[in-house]
A and B are shown apart, each in its own frame.
Chain A
């Protein structure tokens, strides 16, 4: 894209480049490729330990798919909002840009809010054998979940499961680490977006000619989104699904 728009003496931006592509954008893509390996290693760890926890709670006990679906939806929408902010900027609609940026940041923060809620509800999760019936409401359609929960609890020789902490079992360890690092990425993205939003109130800092600054933040943000797409399917949806051999 635009290597031609950079006006001045930012050596990094305006000089001759062999491919005609911008240095910083290329750096960003290389970084994202590299970050895939980062999440890949975390996901590999999660999957290797799937079904290997010695005590509960297990994914099936704590996951609340409807809630997570909503937060997934929010993050997807924030991606749309981000791309619209970028589009507004390239058309020099600075106010539109600000609105969409703000809404992206808010949706990102909402996602983080969901995550905080989820972490805290997992860590205070409580089931005892008598209350298994309550769980039935939550997972209405899975009739045998209730039975499974109770048998899990029995298998572990516990009357109750008290809270999923990272220290509780392998599931807690791997789950919190993986989703926690994703959350950290989102948080960093929010800071970045807010910084750009703030800069747009300084004259000449955010202009259509300098859309690259926003483009890079957008790439990062969408990347965080696609990582979540993978996590949602592999960790959440498959999480309550018994794998062969697990």
Chain B
């Protein structure tokens, strides 16, 4: 086994991460019901779910402990997909998009 593997989280840490993920999910749902937040809900939820995404990718998928290359391969897809989504949405929100 290579050296990095020694640093892999233990079962207990995996469990703790699962707890964090559950709590964030609970918070998300709670925030959803906080009507007074109005549009502030959007950035808050984006931050929270990005956090969840990152936790799973870094720890459960071991990106944190693996070679950077894997991160590059994956993150390029994530980033590009995000950018394309935003670009298409904005192209549709003016000009012909307002149909």
A and B touch in the complex (CB under 8 A): yes
The distance in angstroms between the C-alpha atoms of A83 and B53, with both chains bound, is 15
Given the interface contacts A43-B85, A69-B29, A87-B11, does A30 sit within 8 Å of B66 by beta carbon? Answer: no
Task: Say yes or no: B74 contacts A233, CB within 8 Å.
Answer: no
The interface residues of chain B lying within 8 Å CB-to-CB of A39 are 81
0/1 string, B31-74, CB within 8 A of A gives 1: 01101000101100110110011001101111000110110011
Instruction: Enumerate A90-118 residues with CB–CB distance to B below 8 Å.
Output: 90
In the bound complex, CA of A244 to CA of B66 (Å):
41
Given contacts A2-B5, A39-B81, A238-B45, contact A223 B61 (CB under 8 A): yes
Are B56 and A222 in contact, with the CB atoms below 8 A? yes
The residues of A that contact B26 with a CB separation of less than 8 Å are: 69
For residue A37, which residues in chain B have a CB less than 8 angstroms away from its CB?
77, 80-81, 84
Instruction: Specify the chain B residue showing the minimal Cβ separation from A38.
Output: B81
A226 CA to B63 CA, complexed, in Å:
14
Residue of B nearest to A48 (CB): B92
Complex CA–CA separation, A58 to B22 (angstroms): 28
Report the bound CA distance from A204 to B76 in whole Å: 37
Task: Please give, as numbers and ranges, the residues of chain B lying within 8 Å of A2 by CB-CB distance.
Answer: 1-2, 5
The answer to whether the Cβ of A14 comes within 8 Å of any Cβ in the partner chain is no
Taking CB as reference atom, which chain B residue is nearest A227? B53
Q: Report, as a range, how many residues of chain A touch the other chain.
A: 35 or more
> Within 8 Å of chain B (Cβ to Cβ): is A133?
no
A83 x B14 contact (CB < 8 A):
yes
Structural contact, B5 and A65, CB atoms closer than 8 A = no
Q: Are B60 and A83 neighbours in the complex by a CB distance under 8 Å? A: yes
Cα A41 to Cα B87 in complex, Å, equals: 11
Q: Is the CB of B73 within 8 A of A29?
A: yes
Q: Which residues of A contact B60 (CB under 8 A)?
A: 79-80, 82-83, 218, 222, 225
Cβ–Cβ contact B28 & A44, under 8 A: no
Given A40-B85, A87-B11, A226-B56, answer yes or no on A30-B73 (Cβ-Cβ < 8 Å): yes
- Chain A residue numbers with a CB within 8 Å of B75 are 33
Contact with B along A217-246 (1 / 0, CB 8 A): 011001101100110110001100100110
- In the complex, the answer to whether B84 meets A44 with C-beta atoms within 8 Å is yes
CB distance from A205 to the nearest CB of B (A): 20
**B84: A residues at CB distance < 8 A:** 37, 40-41, 44
**A181 within 8 Å of B by Cβ?**
no
